[in-house]
Amino acid sequence: MTTLISTDRVHITQRNFQQILIRGDGKDRFNQIITKETSLQPPSKNLEIKTSDQYIFAKNSFDQWTLVYLVERDYKEIIKTISNLNSNDEILASDYSYGQVYFEVSGENKDEFLNKLTQFDLRNKKFPDLSMAQTLIARIDCYIYKLNNKYIITCNKSYEDYFKERLTDLINL
């Protein structure tokens, strides 16, 4: 974990997590298979997040989920889980473990700061706690997860340098 920005109002760190991207139909058989292979119940409501200190399991839209492991696991196990999921025709699981970059944003002014880079409505009445969204931040396609007063923002790793420069540039202005 590296700290990018730390002021008394905004705190941003960068971390790496392992992740699986899952496509499927969300019906009974799908839920059974997921629960069997991951020991986790997939969320059923669109944009809902189920979380603990070990993972974030989010439903991105009616046929896509992201499972982010907040605590590093033995990568061999993750590969095995993916392979087992893929043995079912009606599921596609892709390994997203090393191609993404993750930023944790917290602090009193996090909303105002992020709203310099995105038009997305971050207010609790529009973006409740324990929900997620896919939107544009700094003109990059991102996933944003809202958990207990902090955001985890993730995007493709190729954008890492640009995104970091945009963040630090704004703090200095």
Partner 1 sequence: MILINCPYCGEREQSEFSNGGEAHVARPKNPEALSDKDWGQYVFYRSNPKGIFYERWVHTHGCRKWFNAVRDTSTDTFLKIYKLDDNRPDISEFKSTLKSPSGEPSVGSGNFAVKK
Partner 2 sequence: MSAINNKNCKYISQVEIKITFDGKSYSAFDGDTVASALLRNNIRLIGRSFKYHRPRGIYTCGIEEPNALVQILNEHNEPNTRATIKRTYDGINISSQNRWPSLSFDIGSINNILSPIFSAGFYYKTFMGPKGFWKKIYEPLIRRTAGLGKPPKNFRSKSIHQNHNVDILIVGGGLSGLIAARKLIDTNNEVLIVEQDCFLGGILKNSNKVKSIDGKNVFEWVNETEKLILGSKNIKILKNTLVTTYNFTNHLIALEDKFVGKKIDTNKSELTLHKIRTTHTILANGHIERFISFRNNDLPGVMLASSFEKYIERYGVAPDENPVIFTNNSSTISLVKSLINLGCKPSAYIDSRNKNDIEDETKDYLSKNNIPFYPESEVEGCEGNKKVEKVYIRSSNKEISSIKASMLCPSGGFNPDIHLFTQSKGLVKWDDKIISFKPDTAFQNTITLGSVSGNYKFKDLCSEINKKLSFLKTNELNLEIETNIRDDFSIKELWETKTNKKSKWSKSFIDLHNDVTTKDLQQAINEGYDRIEHLKRYTTNSMGTDQGKISSINSLGIVSKILKKKISEVGTTTYRPPYAPLSFAAIAGRSTYEYYDPERKTPIHNWHIKNNAVFEDVGQWKRPWYFKKYKTETMHQAVQRESKQTRQSAGILDGSTLGKIEIKGKDALEFMNLMYTNAFTKMKPMTSRYALMLGEDGMIMDDGIICKINDKHFIATTTSGGAPKVFAHMEEFLQTEWPHLQVYLNSITEQFTTFNISGPKAREIVSKVFSDIDFSNEKFPFMTFKTFNYKNTQARIMRASFTGELGYEIYISPQHALELWELIFKHGKDFDLVPYGTETMHLLRAEKGYVVIGQETDGTVTPIDINFNWMIGKKKKDFIGKRSLTRSDTAREDRKQLVGIVPLDKSQFIEEGQHIVECENLPSKIKMPIEYLGHISSSYHSPNLNHCISMAMIKSGNKLMGKKLFVSTPKGTKNIPVEIVSPVFIDPENKRLTS
Report if residue 115 touches partner 1, rule: CB under 8 A.
no
Report if residue 123 touches partner 1, rule: CB under 8 A.
no
**Binder of residue 24, out of partner 2, partner 1, none (CB less than 5 to 8 A by kind):** partner 2
Q: What is the dihedral of CA 59, 70, 79, 84, to 10 degrees?
A: -40
Toward partner 2, which CB reaches closer, 127 or 145? 127
State how far the Cα of 130 lies from the Cα of 16, in Å rounded to an integer.
20
Toward partner 1, which CB reaches closer, 79 or 136? 136
Residue from the set 13, 16, 46, 94 that interacts with partner 1 by CB under 8 A: 46
What residues numbered 61-90 form the site for partner 1, per CB under 8 A?
61-62, 64
Shortest Cβ 46–partner 1 spacing (Å): 6
**DSSP secondary structure letters along the chain:** -EEEEE-SS-EEEEE--EEEEEE---SHHHHHHHHHHHSSPPP-STTBEEE-SSEEEEEEETTEEEEEESS---HHHHHHHHHHHHTSTT-EEEE-SSSEEEEEEESTTHHHHHTTT-----STTTS-TTEEEEEEETTEEEEEEEETTEEEEEEEGGGHHHHHHHHHHHHH-
**Binder of residue 67, out of partner 1, partner 2, none (CB less than 5 to 8 A by kind):** none
Shortest Cβ 71–partner 1 spacing (Å): 28
The token pair at 168 is 């630090």
> Which chain residues interact with partner 2 by CB under 8 A?
21, 23-24, 63, 75-76, 79, 86, 89-92, 94-100, 112, 115-116, 118-123, 126, 138-140, 156-163, 165-166, 169-170, 173
Number of chain positions touching partner 1 (CB under 8 A): 15
Report if residue 156 touches partner 1, rule: CB under 8 A.
no
**The amino acid at 30:** F
Report if residue 44 touches partner 1, rule: CB under 8 A.
no
